[in-house]
Chain A
Amino acid sequence: MSDRTAYRPNEDGVLNHYVNTAGWDPYYREPMTAKQQRYATASQWRIIWWKLSRHRLAMISGGILLILYATIFISEFLAPYELNTRNTDFIFAPPQPVHLFHEGRFVGPFVYGYTQRLNMQTFQREYVVDRTDIQPLRFLCSGDRYRFWGMVDADLHLFCPAEGGTAFLLGTDRLGRDMLSRIIYGARVSLTVGLIGIAVSFTLGIVIGGLAGYYGGWVDNVINRVIEIFQSFPQLPLWMALSAALPANWSPLLVYFGITIILGLVDWTGLARAVRSKLLSLREEDFTTAAQLMGAEPRRIIGRHLLPSFMSHLIASATLSIPGMILGETALSFLGLGLKPPITSWGVLLSEAQNINAVAITPWIMVPVIPVILVVLCFQFFGDGLRDAADPYK
């Protein structure tokens, strides 16, 4: 009953009520915890990073991509053989697996040697594993000579075959060239094709989509129609037609740039659409109106307010369209319309696996497809994570 008596009128008939005697500060706000403080003052990119780092699959994929891209700086060092070394005694040799133990005894990483014989019935070279021939791998050793980055002569490799032995961890191709080394070298071209291509399509997408979104009206209409027309072209036939039109007398390097530009030229429409729709919706936001009322020029509004607020989203969708380009290059090179030897990309390597013999007799020729799948998957997962992280409403 005691709590009730407190609020009963006293003898004078005056109601007893609670009064806080502490002074009242009208400007008082609840203090933020250190964590909230950090979040509130963090830049947009920092928030994206925090969100992304919680996305485990995306982080792993990003890590793998980072490692793969790092290898293209030191391909020559990582590859056990030089790109064009022909081991004419070992044509279409199957992969030599790395062993650690020989008859239960620890030897360290080694491969068993091959003895080769020609099967006179099928005229196939047959390789028999010679269990007595132990060839330990050497590490940080001197092997095939190469020109590092085409400038410095060197012969240091991460690992090489034993003296006089072989180490074809992924087998050899029809000229006896080591597949592993060729895949490592091929990464240089295959991984950069997507980046240059996306740079082209990104620039086109931002400029054209920006024009449509900013000017609106008939410009927007015309650009939209053009985008629709481009999108109704099946991509691959268009790529094929354009790359077939590259002059035959171009140097391999020029062809490489030509192909990347073609990949970008056909691909920009999706990005332009994204830029346009984002610009259109952001134009109506309060902060744009506020900036306009404060007298900011259109250039400042676009550059300072609009562009940063959808850049993260754009980068995410750009990441998602890189795998399409890598697959596109692979398909073009496979058909012989894209890059051609001596330039080595994963697609060029795969073009050797064009007939059924490759699947039936020398399946290791198809190994370059594994890095292709890996890279495409990684970009996909990483892009998905990035898109989720860049979405401020999630």
Chain B
Amino acid sequence: MFGYIVRRLFIMIPTLLAISAISFVIIQLPPGDYLTTLLNEARARGESADLSYINFLRETYHLDEPLVLQYFYWLGGIFQGDWGYSFEYNLPVTEVVGDRMFLTILLTFATTLFIWVVAFPIGIYAATHQYSLGDYFFTFLGFIGFAVPNFLLALVLMYLANVYFGTAIGGLMDPSYIDQPMSWGKFLSVLEHLWIPVVVIGTSGTAAMIRRLRANLLDELQKQYFVTAKAKGLPEGKALVKYPLRMSLNPFIADIGGILPDLISGATIVSVVLGLQTTGPLLLTALQSQDMYMAGSFVMWLAMLTVIGVLISDMALAALDPRIRLGGGATK
């Protein structure tokens, strides 16, 4: 197990480096940089730009040097905890992002939990009642969940929540709690607002998970050991929970790696619509104003979040399933 984790951690290093390179390319893609935008804006306002300030920024962030060098400066900075500078906010990127990253992680975690809690019983039901009305209903619901654009579902749910529950529109908590210290009331308020994005983001993932669990469980239900267990007189429910269900649990852990990018994608757009204080809206404004250090850092963090999530799910899977931790090295 220990060897497996070490191996996985070593594989992560080149992956993260490549992700940083791609993120940097994204930072550099738009023609010009933020400083030229700044200059142009100042010119458009008819002011003379503060050249010494601009030169200071150019100096600090090595904007004159070749791209490859800039990349290494940027990377070196990251190792020292300096993610670059948000020209838009006039703050280091880390300071702007801090809390929001935490909320993104919270949202993703809550969504994953939601997917598990919902998909698990429904998947079992669909498999044990194959071709029943309920089975068709959930399959259909899953298709719809995939086809309806996330952002629209978010809008409609937000409206309904406002009309029927009186939830304040937008945000992740009641406006009165923003910037307040954590309290029970604030916690409840966050919960009250959290369910909309969680349901919206989780819908398609839940549908995928139900289908996986259903297919896996159906395969297992035909195997001989299950027939034997039933023939020996084990009650149906006990036989189901004791053997096939355990076998079909793997996708719940393994698929996290697959659905995590989707969850983060979904979270981005849903947060923009709902005005959540997560990374999504910030990424959008950063992209719109070409605040590229910020945008690049965001993209990189989201990718890192994914990679780490996949690592955790892989480790959990290895702990759960000896075939993976023992066979992993041999088959490669």
Contacts and interface: CB of A to CB of B under 8 A. Distances in A.
**4 closest Cβ contacts across the A-B interface?**
A236-B265, A245-B29, A244-B287, A234-B264
Interface of B: 14-15, 18-19, 22, 26, 29-31, 143-144, 146-152, 155-156, 158-159, 162, 169, 261-262, 264-266, 268-269, 272-273, 283-284, 287-288, 290, 295-296, 298-299, 302-303, 306-307, 310
Given A240-B287, A244-B295, 14 more contacts: A225-B18, A229-B19, A229-B22, A232-B307, A234-B302, A238-B299, A241-B26, A244-B30, A337-B284, A354-B273, A359-B156, A366-B155, A380-B146, A380-B147
Nearest to B287: A244
Contacts of B152: 350, 353, 366, 369
Given A234-B302, A353-B155, A337 B149 contact: no
For the complex, would chain A's binding face be called helix, strand, loop or mixed by DSSP majority?
helix
A372 interface: yes
Contact of A233 (B19, B158, B295): B19
For the complex, would chain B's binding face be called helix, strand, loop or mixed by DSSP majority?
helix
A337 B287 contact: yes
Contacts of B307: 232
Interface stretch (A46-54, A153-161, A326-334): A326-334
Given A245-B29, A335-B284, A358-B155, A232 B149 contact: no
A232 B147 contact: no
A133 B169 CA distance: 40
Contact of A242 (B26, B149, B159, B290): B26
A234 B15 contact: no
B269 A241 contact: no
B261 A234 contact: yes
Contacts, number: 127
A331 B29 contact: no
B277 to A, nearest CB: 17
A65 to B, nearest CB: 14
Contacts of A245: 26, 29-30
Contacts of B266: 236
Interface string A227-259: 011011111111011101101000000000000
Interface of A: 225-226, 228-229, 231-238, 240-242, 244-245, 247, 323, 327, 330-331, 334-337, 350, 353-354, 356, 358-360, 366, 369, 372-373, 376-377, 380-381
Given A337-B287, A356-B158, A233 B147 contact: no
Nearest to B301: A237
B143 A237 contact: no
Given A241-B299, A356-B155, A380-B143, A233 B22 contact: yes
A327 B151 CA distance: 11
Given A235-B262, A237-B264, A331 B151 contact: yes
Contacts of B150: 331
B155 to A, nearest CB: 5
B27 to A, nearest CB: 9
Contact of B147 (A242, A335, A366, A373): A373
A229 B155 CA distance: 33
Nearest to A328: B265
Contacts of B15: 225, 228-229, 232
A376 to B, nearest CB: 4
A323 B22 CA distance: 26
Contacts of A244: 30, 287-288, 290, 295
B265 to A, nearest CB: 4
Contacts of B149: 327, 330-331, 334, 350, 369, 372
Nearest to A221: B332
Contacts of A354: 273
A241 B300 CA distance: 11
Given A244-B30, A335-B269, A356-B155, A232 B148 contact: no
Contacts of B262: 234-235
A359 B159 CA distance: 7
Contact of A247 (B19, B31, B144, B147): B31
B295 A231 contact: no
12 contacts: A229-B19, A233-B19, A236-B264, A237-B299, A241-B26, A241-B296, A242-B26, A244-B290, A245-B29, A323-B146, A359-B159, A380-B146
Contacts of B14: 225
Contacts of A334: 149, 151, 269
Contacts of B261: 231-235
B187 to A, nearest CB: 25
A250 to B, nearest CB: 11
Nearest to A324: B146
B169 to A, nearest CB: 6
Nearest to A236: B265
B143 A377 contact: yes
Given A232-B15, A245-B26, A359 B155 contact: yes
A47 B210 CA distance: 32
A281 B14 CA distance: 28
A334 to B, nearest CB: 6
B303 A369 contact: no
A334 B156 CA distance: 15
Contacts of B143: 377, 380-381
Nearest to A377: B147
A236 B19 CA distance: 16
A336 B284 CA distance: 10
Central interface residue in A237, A247, A334, A354, by most chain B CB within 10 Å:
A237
A330 B310 CA distance: 28
A242 B288 CA distance: 12
Nearest to A358: B155
Contacts of A237: 264-265, 268, 283, 298-299, 302
Given A228-B15, A245-B29, A331-B269, A234 B284 contact: no
Contacts of B31: 247
Contacts of A360: 159
A237 B271 CA distance: 12
Central interface residue in A235, A241, A244, A336, by most chain B CB within 10 Å:
A241
A241 B287 contact: yes
Contacts of B19: 229, 232-233
